[in-house]
């Protein structure tokens, strides 16, 4: 009897649990939406070839070809290098500074993805 009375008279645990759930849920949704944009490397092209995102957003570059790709960005604002990406491998790139960026491929010089960061 004593222990059940103590549980009811101490609502702070329940309050904390509700608060944690209320904070964790939107953060989880936000973290997920950060990588919603997937760019496919297919037939030696980036698809789509151009994308517009907000500052702080990330894109995921996925190799849908059966051979290697190697995405990179070389600009004054940022550097990125995925290294060699095998079939099915992906890389996530975060853009922290507004601007227009060209994602190239070190293996296929004609590949170009234009990322506009607003
Ligand atoms: Cu390539």
CA 30 / ligand 1 centre spacing (Å): 30
Sign of CA dihedral 13, 16, 18, 21: negative
Residue 13: asked if its preceding bond is cis (omega within 30°), the reply is: no
Strand order in the sheet with 45-47: 45-47, 37-42, 58-63, 90-94
Average predicted confidence (pLDDT) for the chain: 85
Ligand 1 (single-atom ion) residues, CB below 5 Å: 69, 105, 107-108, 111
Q: What are phi and psi of 72, to 5 degrees?
A: -155, 155
Structure confidence at residue 23 (pLDDT):
59
CA 83 / ligand 1 centre spacing (Å): 11
Structure confidence at residue 36 (pLDDT):
77
pTM of the model: 0.71
Domains identified in the chain and CATH numbers = 2-31 (no CATH), 34-117 (2.60.40.420)
CA 43 / ligand 1 centre spacing (Å): 9
CA 52 / ligand 1 centre spacing (Å): 21
Structure confidence at residue 34 (pLDDT):
56
Burial of 25 (0-12, 13-18, 19+ CB in 10 A): exposed
């Amino acid at each position: 009897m004593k222990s059940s009375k103590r549980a009811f008279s101490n609502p702070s645990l329940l309050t904390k649990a509700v608060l944690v759930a209320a904070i964790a849920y939107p953060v989880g949704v936000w973290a997920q939406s950060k990588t919603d944009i997937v760019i496919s490397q297919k037939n030696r092209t980036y698809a789509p070839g151009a994308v517009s995102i907000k500052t702080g957003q990330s894109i995921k570059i996925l190799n849908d070809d059966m051979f290697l790709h190697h995405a990179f960005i070389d600009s004054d604002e940022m550097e990125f290098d995925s290294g060699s990406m095998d079939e099915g491998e992906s890389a996530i790139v975060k853009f922290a500074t507004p601007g227009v960026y060209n994602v190239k491929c070190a293996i296929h010089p004609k590949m170009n993805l234009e990322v506009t960061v607003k």
